[in-house]
Structure 1
Amino acid sequence: MMNKWEGIVLRTMPYGETNKIVTILTKEAGKLTAMARGAKKPASRLSSITQLFVYGSFLLRTGKGMGSLEQGEPIDSMRHIREDLEATAYASYIVELIDRLTEDGQRSSGIFNLLFEALHAINEGYDPEAIALFVEWKMLPVAGIHPVLHQCASCGSVEGEFAFSFKEIGFLCHRCFHIDPYIVRITPAQLKLIRTFATVPITQVGSLTLKKSTKQFMKKLVRQVYDEQVGLRLKSRSFLDQLDRTPSLLPPKEKPAESDE
């Protein structure tokens, strides 16, 4: 059966001397894996369409077993992501996270739209570290984790001072701090930011610029949830950790005005 679907390339793997196995997240049919014959040849008509991050239109032959990529037309090659080391690193982390948390054939327009919005934002020059945080928080429910962020996870209160609890996986109000001796105190601005990451679409946020310390704090929270509750280990995260330890690996950039509001 032949189908034409829009999709984004999540992963490629060489197969033999000239072929690639390509994993594509499609809008219509979920995640699919297909053989792209001859795609490793520079002159192949499938060469450009089987690059990581490419958003395109794919003609796939499907049936029993692995499908076959017959034709493809790039819609957006995500050129900036490919040319910028930091953008590449965070985009690689995002696609690996989504790839690992989705099953083949699992249809979800929400996940596809999240990936498209995230890559498009990074490609447009938005802070890739902040965009990755949006994806991390929004993918928690897909991983089976539903943090309580709209009220106290214990008593249901929506007023007072709040902290984040890894035990309750969500917010605790000051009346319930005793439930978890290892709570992480958060400011009202941090609480608002966590809710923004988890609930507000990337397209509705605009240009969000955050202090490095704020991003590191938010990253520590959400990744500890993944580590403790999901047990997910991603290869791309190791490189991001290396960039954090050695920022000199990145070329200097003009810094925008930072704000946590």
Structure 2
Amino acid sequence: MSQTKQTEFEGIVFFRRNYRERDMLVKILTDHFGFKMFFIRGARKRGFRLSAAILPFTQASYVGAVSEDGLSFINAVKESTQYRQILNNIELNAYVSYIFELANAAFGESKPLGAWFNQLQQAAVLIDQGIDPAIITNIIEIRLLTYFGVQPNLHDCVICHRTDRVFDFSESYGGLLCQQHWSVDPHRLQLDRRTIYFLQVFSQLNLFNIHSIKVSQATKIKLRRTLNRIYDNQVGLKLKSRRFLEEMKIWPA
């Protein structure tokens, strides 16, 4: 039998959808319980007292009944703030939605994320503050690979373990190949030094250490193509939110 306990927790609203005539289901990334779905009775009624606290990309301190397996409930909100730039900008909204959906796929439902809650929260903060959302997304994607069972070696050559040579990335060998061993994989990704450099840096980067970051548009395109290929071929994950981001790129200005 599923256990439910009354508790206070910090959370960020991921998404919500209408349920029945007057209610809503709201998914929240919580600090102690991971991704949880909450049933909000009367949420669609005019003047609903918690309406501001369940808007997408709102962070709040909630009080509620959290269930181990089933739907949870919110009884009160102590304080709340909104990521206003994300909420009002469809592109920023799409990037953060993808980051959260990716993390949800990596960790699953109702599993505590530990320090990852703070990293995802910081991703939203940085994007809301104007840091390049594509780069923040790349960092999250690279660092989440291990939770999908994919651990590319981005430290040294997977064959000779040299660190002082020019590298390329090999899907077949699961990481970097130095120039001396490029011949073993004729299908290596043909990445330039700059793209390899950022893959290495991003794999170790703590989001709390980012104050500004600039990457050329050409390198951003190569990073996007590389990570799409890894997620498509090695993870086998194609999320709706990523497809929406890709479709946005071809929208008329």
With structure 1 as the length reference, what TM-score do the two structures score? 0.88
Between the aligned partners of 2:221 and 2:46, the Cα distance in structure 1 is: 40
Query: What residue number does 1:22 align with?
Result: 26
User: In the aligned structure 2, how far is the partner of 1:74 from the partner of 1:152?
Assistant: 50
Counterpart contact for 2:195–2:222, Cα < 8 Å: no
Q: Match of 1:89, as an amino acid?
A: A
CA distance in 2, matches of 1:183, 1:12: 42
2:92 match: secondary structure: helix
Report what 2:10 is aligned to. Answer: 6
Root mean square deviation, CA, Å: 1.7
- Percent identical pairs in the alignment equals 29
* SS across alignment from 2:94: helix
> What are the within-5 Å matches in structure 2 for residues 72-83 of structure 1?
72-83=77-88
**1:208 CA drift (Å):** 0.8
For 2:185, the equivalent position in structure 1 comes to: 180
Q: Which residue of 2 aligns with 1:257?
A: none
> Equivalences for 1:57-76 in 2 at 5 Å?
57-63=61-67, 65-76=70-81
Q: Tell me how far apart the structure 2 counterparts of residues 198 and 152 of structure 1 sit (CA, whole Å).
A: 16
| CA distance in 2 between partners of 1:123 and 1:73 (Å) | 22
- Structure 1 Cα separation of the partners of residues 216 and 196 of structure 2: 15
**CA separation of 1:230 and 1:107: change in aligned 2, threshold 3 A:** same
Contact conserved, 2:18 with 2:25, CA < 8 A, in 1? yes
In structure 2, the residue matched to 1:252 is none
Match of 1:119 in 2: 124
CA drift at 1:13: 2.1
TM-score (structure 2 length as normaliser): 0.91
- How many matched pairs? 248
Matching residue within 206, 214, 218 for 2:211 = 206
How far 1:74 sits from its partner (Å)?
4.5
- Displacement of 1:140 after TM fit? 0.9
Q: Which amino acid aligns with 1:232?
A: L
Q: Which has the higher strand share?
A: 2
Q: Secondary structure at the match of 1:62?
A: strand
Cα distance in 2 between the residues matched to 1:40 and 1:74: 21
In 1, the alpha carbon distance for the partners of 2:143 and 2:59 equals 21
| Matched AA of 1:137 | I
| Letter paired with 1:13 | R
